[in-house]
Structure 1
Amino acid sequence: MNSSMYRNLTITALLMALAIMIPIMMPLKVVIPPASYTLASHVPIFLAMFLSRKSAACVVIGSTLGFFVAGFPLVIVMRAASHIFFALLGAWYLKNHMEVLSNAFSFVTFNFVCAIIHAIGEVVACLLFYTTTTLPNIDLMYVVFVLVGGGTIVHSMVDGYISLYIYKAIPKSIIE
């Protein structure tokens, strides 16, 4: 292994640790199953996307584990696991288009597309969960499509911008 590989492994491990700890320790979270909003829970995933697909996949696993260990309902843990789709697609795109992180308009578009993919993954996770278990006494369409789908788009975009701000604040010698 060369020093670049050790650096990426170390950064990935640190991002995984953050992804595990955020759902456990973050005091700012709203949980209305199947909807949940934990501030900055996607930040380690976005930062890993900026690094590589392997990092993104590992951090999604860490995040899913964090939501499980924190005792969130199974439907929310499934939503966390669905992050693999937007994380891998985003990392795949960034592999050849890192300039997106330097151009404001391009990042808005990238972040919005990631948020849409993210929301679709979470809505599908909820629908799979609720079609294979007993349905709770909720307005499923409103909760799944508005609270989870719409809320995920907003939450994802906010976390995307937090991640970009952190990424730009890191000295380039550390991340390149």
Structure 2
Amino acid sequence: MSLSQNKQSIQRLTLTALLTALAILIPMVMPIKVVLGPASYTLASHLPIVLAIFMGPAPAAFVALASGIGFFLAGFPFVIGLRGLSHVFFATFGAYYFQKHPGVVDKLTTRTAFSFVLAFIHALAEVVVVYLVTGLGAGTLAAGYFTTLFVFVGLGGIVHGMVDFELGYQTARALDKAKVVSFFKN
């Protein structure tokens, strides 16, 4: 391994560690969070995951798992912590896709489509987790259960995911432009 490759490996490891720390801390300290159990919205909670998506599948999966741990450590209900762990699905898929198609984020239209697909996978995984934990075997479900599940967790998750994706993309572009960290091949 050359000195240049060694430096890149150390930078990648350091950035992954920083994003991991942020993924754990954001659910614990972010003042803007709304909990409508089993749904929750914590501003920028996906930001470290989105940045890790631009780094590759391994950092994305690791940071996504750390995000789930952050929700558990922050004292959120169990089902919300499990929803956080489900982020590994959209993060890993997104990282693999971005690795093969880095130009997907260059145009607003393709970036929005990519963001929507990731947000849909994200919301679908969370809906499945919530249903498995709260609905399966519960007998008769409470009135409004599916409205809560599909509107607050599903649709709300898509909107929240897309907003955080754009925040993450703009953050990555700004860091890239300032030559702080290179997320994109220029």
Structure 2 counterparts to residues 139-154 of structure 1, below 5 A: 139-154=144-159
Question: Which residue matches 1:21?
Answer: 25
CA distance in 2, matches of 1:141, 1:112: 22
CA distance in 2, matches of 1:64, 1:133: 24
Shift of 1:102: 1.6
Question: Which residue matches 1:40?
Answer: 44
| Unaligned residue ranges in structure 1 (runs of 5+) | none
Q: Which has the higher helix share?
A: 1
Structure 2 counterparts to residues 17-166 of structure 1, below 5 A: 17-132=21-136, 134=138, 137=142, 139-166=144-171
Deviations, residues 7-55 of structure 1 (Å, cap 9, x unaligned): 1111100001000000000000000110000000001101000111000
Give the secondary structure class of the aligned counterpart of 1:175.
coil
CA distance in 1, matches of 2:160, 2:30: 15
CA distance in 1, matches of 2:76, 2:137: 17
CA distance in 2, matches of 1:170, 1:56: 18
CA distance in 1, matches of 2:143, 2:40: 15
Aligned residues: 176
TM-score of the superposed pair, with normalisation by structure 2:
0.89
Shift of 1:131: 3.6
Runs of at least 4 residues of structure 1 off by over 6 A? none
Question: Which residue matches 1:9?
Answer: 13
Q: Percent identity?
A: 46
CA distance in 1, matches of 2:93, 2:83: 17
Task: Say which is worse superposed, 158-167 or 101-110, in terms of deviation.
Answer: 101-110
Q: Which amino acid aligns with 2:182?
A: I
TM-score of the superposed pair, with normalisation by structure 1:
0.94
Q: Cα RMSD over matched residues?
A: 1.6
Shift of 1:105: 1.3
Give yes or no for contact 2:65–2:87 (8 Å, CA) kept in 1. no
CA distance in 2, matches of 1:138, 1:45: 34
